[in-house]
Amino acid sequence: MKRRIRRSEQEYLIDCCALCKCSENCPDKYGEKITLKSQELTVHYFCLLMSSGVYQRGEENEGIYGFLVDDIKQEVRRSSRLKCAVCKKNGASVGCDVKSCQKKVHFPCGKQHQFIFQFTDLFPSYCKDHSPTQSLPVSACVSEPMSCSVCLDPIEPVLSYSVLKCPVCHGSWFHRDCVQNQAHSAGMFFFRCTLCNNKDMFQQEMLRMGVHIPERDAAWELEENAYGELLQVYQHCDAKKCLSHSGRTYSSRTGWFQVLRCALCGSSGTHRKCGSLKLDETNWACEDCAGAVDGTASLPRHTDSPQPGGQRRSRSSKRTLTLTPRQSPIVCKRPFLLGGSAREILQKLASQTSHHQLSMPVVVNGNKVLEAAMELVKRSDFNPSHALAVRFTSSKHSFSPDTCPGNTRHFLRLLVQQLQNTVFEGPDGAKTLTLDARALREDVYFDVGCLLSLSLVHGGPPLSFFSRALYLCLFNFPRDTPLTVEDMGNTGFTDKVKKIQESKSLEELREAMESASEYLEVAGCTRPVESLSDKDTLVKDIVSFHLITRMQLPVQRFCEGLKTLGVFDQVQMFPGAFVDLFCSSHDKLTADTMAALFTVQFSDQEETAGKETAVVTFWRHYLLECEVGRCATSLEDVLIFATSADVVPAVGFSPSPTLSFLHPLDPAGAFPVSQPSSNRLLLPVVPSYQAFKKHMEYVVCQLTVLQSI
């Protein structure tokens, strides 16, 4: 006789998920719990997504988010014959995606047994033995984490199922539960690494490692009236003695008892009468903000630094304060962290600079590029976020007499070359800062750092001349890497330090120290030595004094200059991304890389395009001959002719270089034409390669000769 199911028991069965037999309602762990009363069917959304035998065959509004009811019931019947590898009960609907693996589990059991469920593509699942893992790159200098970047509790620095890391910065580590809670709260639009702020690569990695990221806005954005307090205006008199008979919260529309809010923070207020302000005065700053601006209080400045020549009024002193670039280098409004490659970061910084109609004019007389640049940064109206309008006055630069991007790129190329001979010393490609009292007195270190930042963001070439020791002193990269005697360069004292380092006996060590006694006394390293092992500590102290202690002020001013346009902050945050741009010589141009730089723009007519295709063949053959030295010109000469740059700028070309074509009536008199302002090269359509090569060599060599005069 069939047992009759009581009503309460039937309701309990309907309340359980048909796939996992669990009644728990926990959206962040199992997804939304959905019940179709008409079908007497309840499922967890994640159980449904991860089930191996059911697919979304309907529209979004059919069944349960496109999963048809009949298909779901068929999956329930299929899984009812499969035993769970964890709880040993039937109904295991989730299987490992590896075909040779036979493990089947309920979704909740899989979570307990370290299954990884990927909420992307076909929603595969992987058992503990076949699940994806994370690893640290061999070349990365990664410091062990002290705590979880979300909950800040101690974390064991061993990658496992329960411990994950950011794939970009490798410095942000998480508990799996913490990063899952963060993803559930932040949603797809706000979920990113808490340390480096990377979003795209971070989300891809978290999805791969089984973190579910809801396709919705952040939870705090969905709350009703979430930002209602932002609509409230501060209306309170904070004067020590309020003179209003109606109280501190009273504010008239005009007159003596209208509350004026602080123009800087907006979080303080005063009645005109209480603040001893004039009746027509509308701008007022509270004491905290006024003190932070004029230096009378030890409070942090506002995020956006004032523009040069900008003025802020201090109520306490009733005077006007003018900030110059020396006091506060200009930074552009930008996110604190940008992330990505060095070129991508620089492009983001460049996109946030303002391209006003009033550009910064730069007039270069002859080859005095450095002099013109130094005059530029000392001008009272200097603003590095404005575009540069460079004009050369000498005849040798007559190829581009007007102000244009090509002029700017040529100016920055020459500027970086000449800056290497200012406050730097050492061999080409491995220069360090030199100690120069005159440069310190005239603040040249700040100017050089400012100009280097300006060049990087505005289209100048990669720097490529910093030594690894200089980069280490500036940005502490590679981390935990000691400085050595070789990093001191070929100074007059280096040989004496090497003798100390290479001493084989205590007597030899003391003799080497005696010969270097004057410098040791200046460095504060004069000390008695009792054993040969003391030389290691001594050499370490000497190197530290030579490269760090005595250079502290030059390095500080140089870094202040590099903060222009936010460059220093980004390099300091991502030193690994920028190290090649500062230290490694750029890759030599090849015919292939040169050809790949230019996008070919063919004509629409088929017959004309066919002739142009032949010219493209001539162009590539010409580049090959330039590479192997069979032409009078080099690849760098050709790139300068087309773009005014001999290498790809650090920020990349904008716009991208293009190839177009000229169709002259007389091919014998047809010569290539360059438009550096738009990075465009126009090639003449000629019948033979000999004519093409002859004309190319003529115009490129002509430009080279003009530049060398």
3-state helix vs strand vs coil in the chain, percent to 5: 40, 10, 50
- At 617, list the tokens: 């063949």
Q: What is the mean pLDDT of the chain?
A: 83
- Does residue 116 carry a pLDDT above 90? yes
Say whether 232 sits in a helix, a strand or coil.
coil
Helix axes 342-351, 444-457, angle to 10 degrees: 90
What phi, psi does 531 have (nearest 5°)? -150, 165
For residue 320, the surrounding DSSP H or E stretch is strand 319-322
d(CA 546, CA 483): 10
Name the strand (E) or helix (H) holding 343: helix 342-351
658-662 and 673-675 as β-strands: parallel, antiparallel, unpaired? Answer: unpaired
Cβ–Cβ < 8 Å for 635, 627: yes
pTM of the model: 0.54
Confidence of residue 561 (pLDDT cuts 50, 70, 90): very high
pLDDT of residue 334: 36
Residue 102's alpha-carbon distances to 19, 129, 278, 313, in angstroms, are 18, 12, 83, 75
- Cβ distance 26 to 50 under 8 Å? no
Closest listed residue to residue 378, CA positions, set 318, 291, 314, 451: 451
Residue range(s) of every CATH 3.30.2410.10 domain in the chain: 591-708
Say what the pLDDT of residue 339 is: 56
Mean pLDDT over 449-466 rounds to 93
Check pLDDT > 50 for residue 57: yes
pLDDT at 47 > cutoff 80: yes
**Residues 31/45, Cβ–Cβ less than 8 Å:** yes
SS3 163: strand
Label residue 58 by pLDDT band (50, 70, 90).
confident
Contact 591, 476 (CB under 8 A): no
How many residues make up the chain in this entry? 709
pLDDT of residue 708 exceeding 80, the answer is no
Residue 635: the pLDDT is 92
Strands 388-392 and 360-364: parallel
Burial of residue 518 (number of CB atoms within 10 Å: 0-12, 13-18, 19+): exposed
Pairing relation of β-strands 116-117 and 125-126? antiparallel
pLDDT greater than 80 at residue 10: no
Q: Which pLDDT score, from 0 to 100, does residue 189 have?
A: 86
What percent of the chain shows pLDDT beyond 70? 86
State the pLDDT at residue 381. 84
CATH architecture under which domain 591-708 falls? 2-Layer Sandwich (3.30)
What does the alpha-carbon distance between residue 380 and residue 304 come to, in Å, rounded to a whole number?
A: 19
pLDDT band for 230, please (50, 70, 90 cuts).
low
- Going by pLDDT thresholds of 50, 70 and 90, the confidence category of residue 310 is very low
Q: Is 674 exposed, middle or buried (0-12, 13-18, 19+ CB in 10 A)?
A: buried
First to last CA, the chain: 111
Among residues 397, 364, 324, 444, the alpha carbon closest in space to that of 676 is found at 397
pLDDT value at 298 more than 70: no
> What's the whole-number mean pLDDT along residues 145-160?
86
Binning pLDDT at 50, 70 and 90, where does residue 355 land?
A: low
Confidence of residue 560 (pLDDT cuts 50, 70, 90): very high
Q: What CATH fold (topology level) applies to the domain 7-126? A: Herpes Virus-1 (3.30.40)
For the chain, how big is the Rg over CA atoms in Å? 34
DSSP annotation string for 519-587: HHHHHT------STTHHHHHHHHHHHIIIIITTHHHHHHHHHHHTGGGHHHHHHH-HHHHHHHHHSPPP
Overall average pLDDT of the 664-675 stretch = 82
At residue 293 the predicted structure's pLDDT band, cuts being 50, 70 and 90, is: low
pLDDT greater than 90 at residue 559:
yes
- Which phi-psi region, left, alpha or beta, contains residue 135 (left: φ > 0; alpha: ψ -120 to 50)? beta
* Residue 329 in this model has a pLDDT that exceeds 50: no
Instruction: Compute the distance between CA of residue 470 and CA of residue 415 in angstroms, rounded to an integer.
Output: 20
- For residue 704, is pLDDT > 90? no
- Residue 127: pLDDT band with limits 50, 70, 90: very high
Is residue 611 scored above 80 in pLDDT? Answer: yes
Place of tokens 């220069």: 431
Sign of CA dihedral 129, 130, 134, 135: positive
Q: Write out pLDDT tens, residues 233-270.
A: 788 899 988 988 888 989 888 888 899 998 888 889 99
Whether the pLDDT of residue 678 is over 60: the answer is yes
User: Do the Cβ atoms of 505 and 529 come closer than 8 Å?
Assistant: no
Of 102-111, 263-272, 457-466, 624-633, the poorest mean pLDDT is in: 263-272
The lowest-confidence range among 33-42, 450-459, 560-569 is 33-42
